[in-house]
Structure 1
Amino acid sequence: MKKRKTLLLPLARQFTVILILFTLCTVCITIYSTFGYSRLQTSFLNNSLESYSAQLAKSTREAYESYENICYSIAYSQVVQNYLMSENRGKSYENYRQLENQLSNTALLNPYIIDIAVYGQDSTFASLCGSASNYEEFSRSLSDSRFPYRSAGVATVNRTLCHVLAMPIYSLGTGESRYLGILFLAIDVNNLLGNSLKSDENDYDPRILFTDASGQLIYGEPQLYDALCREEDRSDVFQIQETSDNPVTYAVTGYSIPGIEHTLYVLIDKSQITRQVARISGRQLLVMCAITFLALLFLFLLYRPLIRSLKQLTDFMNTISSGDRRAMKEGAVIHQGLIGSKEISEISTAFNDMLIETEKLNHTIFDTYTRMYELENNNRKTEIAFLRSQINPHFLYNTLTMICGLAAEGMDDKIISVTGALSRIFRYSIKGSDMVTLEEEMSIVRSYLMIQKERFEDRFTVRYEFSEDSHDCLIPKMVIQPLVENAIVHGLEKSLEPGELLIGAGRNPEHGYLAIWIFDTGVGMPESRLTELRESIHRSVYNKTGDASADLEDLNSQNHESIGILNVNSRMVLYYGTDYTLLIDSEEGVGTNIQIRVPYRLKSDTNARAAQNTNSKGENHVPGNCD
């Protein structure tokens, strides 16, 4: 399964990203909700204004219907009939008093009635507060007595601009009805339309235009009416320039008033709706911004100490990683401020406890490792010394037997040579450094071969192949002689034909090791024997118990004929590890080839590194510093 790549970001940057995303989401939600609320508010205001306009038109219709009923009730009352038809002067005054009383009582029925006037055909006139001159012009314009209840026009009555309604008065009776005069009803249209549905809940101010059947403006602003009249198609929306820099757009709705054939126009200033919605939406946006700011401030106050505390803890960990043991002893001290995190405090305490336990464990591990290292080093030195001190008793027995034979024949010179070579071999094996140069090792091998040549005479020949850069390479002591002995005893000695022993060494610069090989043209070994020997070599490497005596006993019990090979292989592993072991290849009737590989290290390089380490230790040592 492919491992996912992790994007690592500092906590402060993550917090910044969270704040930005939170702010963006809040702003988007606020804007979206504000626009949604704006649309809802606009729809609500439009519906409210439409309802307002419809109710205004309804109330106006109902008002004028009531005025029509009032006109009928007065025009055809017995009091008015008596007044207009009376021919007796004395009786006329009494009828006038009754008429005046009726008109006064009728005017109380509606607060917008300013005056009620009766204008007779014979210039008889009676009214509440107006004069005959207020109605003379209307009387002349209504000379046709066949007109219905209608609007006469606009006039100023009792210092009030009034809408004058007119109705003809006819005589009542069984005979032919005759025309008696006109009833005039003066209405305070400004208060009628201005106070209609007036409420403190309305923050908007619709404009009202009221016109008669001929298109004459009865109520409203002439400028608005002129602008409305200029609209050829009478669009529902039109614009007017109230000031030089303030064009106002109006939505207009017209309502017909039946009975008098008047038209009521309700004009709604759309900019008022826009301002109203903008004001409400602005308040909402301001509240949302305030809430967002407080939320961000609260998050900042909570997370800033957390980030600061984590940075302090991280800096302390980096200080510990840099090797400052004094800081480890002092422990982590986190300053969280007024608002802190309980988890950070617990982490800091746990980390300090961990440092204390780690210090204790370090001392324990160091002491244990030191004892184990000393024990292993002693064990390794013991095993190496024991392996190196092993000398084949058959070699000693045969050499001593050969010396006795030479003494019997009186060959003193050869006895001296053989004895000297044998003493050199013994002295070399028990004294000196564990690591020697290849040239020093080969001098002992030549001494050993000189003894064997004296014993076997011309049974085999020896040939050497060494590269120039191999003589000064360091190798473990006594690793070539046991292999040469094994080649002579188990290879050349058992062969009936004269054989050859090839000893050589060469450097492999690509892999950095020195290869040493011993090849004999002896009897070789069958495949089964070669497999068994390789398994023994493998077991001698990977089945160690750590006990030198037990490992040596197990080594001796594995294969007595190849003890020299196993001995050398075990020492190679002890010196260099499992990367440098012994390789063996053999073919029955052809011969056996054994190769060992050691790291290519020159004696001069080793001496230089030792001197450098000695100087370095001397420079870095500070007396009295326990750390």
Structure 2
Amino acid sequence: MIKKGQALYMKKHKTILLPLGRQFSIILVLFIVCTTGITLYNTQDYVRVQTDFLSSSLDSYSSQLAKNTQEAYDSYENICYSVAYSSVVQDFLSSKNRQSSYEAYQELRTQLENTFLLNPYISDIAVYGQDGTFASLGGSAFSYKPFADKLEETSFPYCTVGTSLINGTNCHILAMPICTLGTGQSQRLGILFLAIDINHLLSNSMTNMNSQKLYEPEILFANAQQELIYGTRSLYRTVLSTPAPQSETDTYEVKANSSPITYIAKCYSFRKLGLSLYVLVDKSQLTSQIQTISLRQFLATGAILLLVFLFVTFLYKPFLDSLKQLIDFMKSISAGNRKAIRKGAQIHQGLIGSTEINDIFNAFNEMLIKTEELNHTIFDSYTRMYELEANNRKTEIAFLRSQINPHFLYNTLTMICGMAAEGMTDKIILVTGALSQIFRYSIKGNDMVSLREELEIVKSYLMIQKERFADRFTIEYNFSDDAYDCLIPKMVIQPLVENAIVHGLEKSLKPGSILIGAGRNPRHGYLAIWIFDTGVGMPPEKLQELRHSIAASVHDKTGDASADLAKMDAQNHDSIGILNVNSRMVLYYGADYTLIIDSEEGVGTNIQLRVPYQTSDSLQTS
């Protein structure tokens, strides 16, 4: 009643009950979640700002680098034109006189040296004539011969022909044809080669433009044949495997399959020379800065949490510990610790205590004393009531069991008289022995027997009935192996078998059969026993009336077994045996174990009873 009142009060006021410790924990968790959320939001915002800055910086940096590179290669084109079509180069390549050729060579050397000084990234200038004439500032004819051979039979403009090691420097080689000057038909005199120190050119450009502290970029420079001129080859292979955007103004991501690094990249094309410039920045360079900022915020959050924890520990922990002591004491009492009840609740509040908690402990100890006195009074009353109820229950069971045999005894004695008149001495002895066994079994021994023992008595009863009815019916048994050892109340199957013969098979004009069986239901823990006869069955209204009588025999009991049995006999005389067994099953096991009856007129009747599955071995073990 108290729990029901509490539930109604909580429902009316919609109160959510939580332990104090959990409430403090929720506050701390909410504080942690909010602080962590703010930290994560700030970190995410910082990442966004840094990513935007990185993208915009990459745009300005890469476009400036592409512009500078384009201007550099345009200036190299002008240099090539000024050298290739100067009179000095023309005289050197067209001279037939060795002396004049030597003088032209000296003039050519002077011009090449002067041109060399025009640009710090020029490593070498070479003139390669059609007749094998060669002049350069430092490179050998062997270094340029492969390029001259490749271009010998082709007509070409100012172009790039590849890379070569010139004077120990990796150089990008540019070429321009040298043709005769004049109004007549132009003829090729040779090729002008310009060797550019590409490493110096691009690295110096990166240093000059990275004054704004842009994240360290990666530069790739390749020709139209996808030959790498400058940069890391493994990264260039990754770039080639990544689809480039439609527009050079777009930024896109490059990710290597074998590396966790992701780059953001820009690509520029120099269509005149067929060159491609890639500028890439590693996004993971943001990580260190993000980690630093996040670490600072989390350290600040941790310091605040530590202060809150210390506050809760020193001010509220003693209060919570005192309540926990009281709760543990209550649980100890609930577990049946009688010694704790006699000793009473004890409190240890520590250095800081609460007067309210102390008052609660004192009031609780006083309540324990009063409750203990009341419990003794209630226990004494309950013991007397239980003993009285148990005696009444045993008396009712004994009375019901004593009423099960009068019809059977009458019919059997009548059959014995008939046998005596016919002089059937042997059968009289057999039937009398079986009858004696049945009645000795019904009045002696324990109330609970194994199904195997009960079945032996049923077989004795059926032997007597077979003598009476001759070949009017057959018998079939169907029992699972584990059914025989199950304990059941004594004499609950024989009355149901008798009912099947008297009210089912005896009224039928044709031969019939009886099926007796049992099977265990492990899932629900009971043994089902059924008696099925192929007799006359029952009409629906008769079946409904019998089921109603079974239900009424459970719920309409007066406590007087004799009066209850007389009432059942008056209401349904033909089924008094079934109602008797049903009443005993309910007395043994409760209202969930009433008989289950199914019947169809002209087909037969099936009666099932269920008992909890117990054996003598399991009872001894428990």
TM normalised by structure 1 equals 0.48
- Bigger Rg, structure 1 or 2: 1
